[in-house]
Structure 1
Amino acid sequence: MTKRFELTAADIKGVWAIVPTPSNSEVGDIGSSTTVDLDEAARVVDALVTTGVDGILSLGTFGECATLTWGEKRSFMATIAEAARGRVPVFGGTTTLNTRDTIEQTRQLPDLGISGTMLGLPMWVRCDEDTAVRFYQDVAEACPDVAICLYANPQAFKFDYPTSFWSRVSSIPQIVSAKYLSMARLAVDLEAVGGRIALLPNEVEYPKAAELHPDAVSAFWSSSATTGPNTVLALRDAVAFAKASHDWSAVQAMDSDIHKAEAGFFPNGDFAEFSKYNIILEKARMDAAGWMRAGPVRPPYREAPADYVAGARRSGEAWASLHKRYASR
């Protein structure tokens, strides 16, 4: 069995690459329950870890957690855990429509060699704060051996994640990190969690977050790592150097490169509009970059405006160019 990690917030450092669930030729068959390209999944995770990423997250939105069968999820997670070979923590995903199914799936993760779960709220009825907190408390109590990366996406989970929520869930020891988007509230939310949860911005927000909060922000999540990981690894190292030297000029230059590569990825710069087509656009960007084969999207989320897809592909090509530029990091 792959090594399990006993994690705390202090252990969450560096680049946490979020990987898609690559699809094979059966993805177009509605009756198939074996649509995952396991060979590509293993290759990608091994390459990311070998190149130097600090952790793997999976089975979120563009990981198609909502459209895979449980059998496919199990096979995928076992494959990527084996590919990582205990070198870094690997988180799966067990977001479902209810607490009982989430617990049943989460309890199986240690036997798959998985360190934790990237876990969002049930996606049907909108949760109030008490319900959201209770959900995480119930899962943590039932699954004490599994770390949790709290998946905080207001569009996907119809919840605003107020500062009071972060204060309350920070007392749950299994919640060690969070995939975080609310940059306008980062300062107060960092104070609320008091170092008990590592709040992870993405690669676009990380430079500013780390500069403003150098002692509290030491890790970020990246969906762009699978367009070629050199850029985000170089960003990680540049920020570490800047924290020590107080010279942020190299980070600022990289930040400019990254923002240029992101141009056109979010339709009209609108996150809510992007969220309607997130899976399609993310996988189109990755396939255009050419570092991995993300493959077609699983039903029903297969339709998107052609100009949106074209913008995502241009972004992927730009990220591929950055990967080559930062090859000598």
Structure 2
Amino acid sequence: MTHRLMTPSEVTGAWAIIPTPAKDNASDWRATNTVDLDETARVVNGLVEAGINGILSMGTLGEAATMTHGEKLDFIKALVDAAAGRVPIFVGTTCLNTRDTVTLTRQALELGADGTMLGVPMWCAPSLEVAVQFYKDVAEAVPEMNIAIYANPEAFKFEFSRSFWGQVADIPQVVTAKYIGVGNLLADLATIRGRIKLLPIDFDYYAAARMDDSIDAFWSSGAVCCPLVTTTLRDVVLNARSTGNWKEARAFQALLGPTAAPLFPNGSFKDFSTYNIALEKARMNAGGWMKAGPVRPPYHLCPEPFLEGARKSGIMWADLGRALEAEK
């Protein structure tokens, strides 16, 4: 199988970040082979047919921390087979140490994945030197594999500082990054000098796109609540950029934004991060477009009021999708 490194300019449009569909018994620690492979294939095909530009998987809500090694390999193969080369597939390969990460990254490459969505190991909070060296080592070990840096400071207990971005921008395999927030966006863009395509979350995409023309791609976990909402966001921003008229894009962002509020307990990103997997899967199941299934242990426990908010978020997103469909 031939693999090639992508360029940042090839990372464009709407990238869906998806959960790992779980069978009904997956919350039981006794369960084995918990990945719903049929639903995996259906979801990937549905996203591709809906016009999604790329797929990210096996991050936090993708339950990379709670899947067995065999389940990961089965899931990667199902993703790659279903996509059949139509869109890039990036899979999370972060493990607790560099050697296991390299092993899984090599296996993902052999199975046909286009890239890895790679966060730093999650036992000790890494120093700047440790984090940068980790990415250098994985890139050296698997030089054919594209890397999307998974830049979540709450999950990884690490500040993705300008010094960090300046150093990893020199690693050719690092082509993109799953990025949170817009407060440091312009400074980080200046630091990476066009060598990494930063992907803001869908809720920040309008604001980020207005800040800098290089922002022409984003990530969306809401895509699996209804992909039409995600592709519409992509298209209204693209149209605004080509015409110079941002009125429609601003109006659509005003409809999309309120769906985020119920997802964050007490309006707190820290509280959300504590229950990230359970909240996101509750949101996705309530959206009704896919069956994300239950949460794998030990993260299957979550306060019911928090879950209620997540379900409301998913329903609001799906309702927006139905309204868009009706307008067609």
Q: Compute the TM-score of the two structures, normalised by the length of structure 2.
A: 0.97
Distance, in Å, in 1 between the alignment partners of 2:46 and 2:307 is 26
Letter in 2 for 1:160: E
SS of the aligned residue for 1:26 comes to coil
Distance, in Å, in 2 between the alignment partners of 1:38 and 1:155 is 30
Letter in 2 for 1:133: V
Structure 1 counterpart of 2:57:
58
Distance, in Å, in 2 between the alignment partners of 1:68 and 1:48 is 23
Taking the TM superposition and a 5 Å limit, the aligned residue runs for 1:170-319 are 170-214=169-213, 216-319=214-317
Letter in 2 for 1:99: T
Gapped runs of 5+ residues in structure 2?
none
Q: Give RMSD over aligned pairs.
A: 1.1
* Alpha carbons 2:4, 2:145 under 8 Å: kept: no
Identity %: 49
Distance, in Å, in 1 between the alignment partners of 2:69 and 2:48 is 25
Structure 2 counterpart of 1:158:
157
**Deviation at 1:179?**
0.5
Structure 2 counterpart of 1:324:
322
SS of the aligned residue for 2:25 comes to helix
Q: Deviations over 1:190-216 (max 9, x none)?
A: 0111110001101000001001102x1
Distance, in Å, in 1 between the alignment partners of 2:57 and 2:110 is 17
* Alpha carbons 1:97, 1:122 under 8 Å: kept: yes
Taking the TM superposition and a 5 Å limit, the aligned residue runs for 1:41-52 are 41-52=40-51
Distance, in Å, in 1 between the alignment partners of 2:27 and 2:189 is 44
Distance, in Å, in 2 between the alignment partners of 1:205 and 1:131 is 29
1:86 equivalent to 2:82? Answer: no
SS of the aligned residue for 1:15 comes to strand
Distance, in Å, in 2 between the alignment partners of 1:73 and 1:251 is 38
* Alpha carbons 2:229, 2:321 under 8 Å: kept: yes
Q: Extract structure 1 runs of 4+ deviating beyond 3 A.
A: 3-6
Letter in 2 for 1:191: A
Letter in 2 for 1:52: G
* Alpha carbons 1:264, 1:314 under 8 Å: kept: yes
Distance, in Å, in 1 between the alignment partners of 2:269 and 2:218 is 19
**Deviation at 1:182?**
3.8
* Alpha carbons 2:28, 2:296 under 8 Å: kept: no
Q: Compute the TM-score of the two structures, normalised by the length of structure 1.
A: 0.97
Range moving further from structure 2, 87-96 or 3-12 = 3-12
**Deviation at 1:172?**
0.3
Letter in 1 for 2:312: R
* Alpha carbons 2:262, 2:309 under 8 Å: kept: yes
Distance, in Å, in 2 between the alignment partners of 1:323 and 1:125 is 41
Letter in 2 for 1:107: R
1:124 equivalent to 2:115? Answer: no
Distance, in Å, in 2 between the alignment partners of 1:125 and 1:105 is 20
Distance, in Å, in 2 between the alignment partners of 1:47 and 1:264 is 26
Q: Deviations over 1:64-116 (max 9, x none)?
A: 00000110010001001111110010011101110000001101112211001
Letter in 2 for 1:134: Q
SS of the aligned residue for 1:183 comes to coil
Distance, in Å, in 2 between the alignment partners of 1:113 and 1:119 is 17
Range moving further from structure 2, 312-321 or 261-270 = 261-270
Letter in 1 for 2:92: G
Distance, in Å, in 1 between the alignment partners of 2:306 and 2:235 is 32
* Alpha carbons 1:33, 1:71 under 8 Å: kept: no
Structure 1 counterpart of 2:135:
136
Distance, in Å, in 2 between the alignment partners of 1:167 and 1:109 is 27
* Alpha carbons 2:209, 2:215 under 8 Å: kept: yes
**Deviation at 1:250?**
0.6
**Deviation at 1:4?**
4.2
Gapped runs of 5+ residues in structure 1?
none
- When the two structures are aligned, how many residues end up with a matched partner? 327
SS of the aligned residue for 2:176 comes to strand
Range moving further from structure 2, 3-12 or 74-83 = 3-12
Q: Deviations over 1:162-209 (max 9, x none)?
A: 111101100001010000114210000001111100011010000010
* Alpha carbons 1:203, 1:222 under 8 Å: kept: yes
* Alpha carbons 1:179, 1:200 under 8 Å: kept: yes
Distance, in Å, in 1 between the alignment partners of 2:67 and 2:30 is 12
Distance, in Å, in 2 between the alignment partners of 1:33 and 1:102 is 22
Distance 1:296 1:181, change over 3 A: same
* Alpha carbons 2:27, 2:300 under 8 Å: kept: no
Distance, in Å, in 2 between the alignment partners of 1:11 and 1:95 is 24
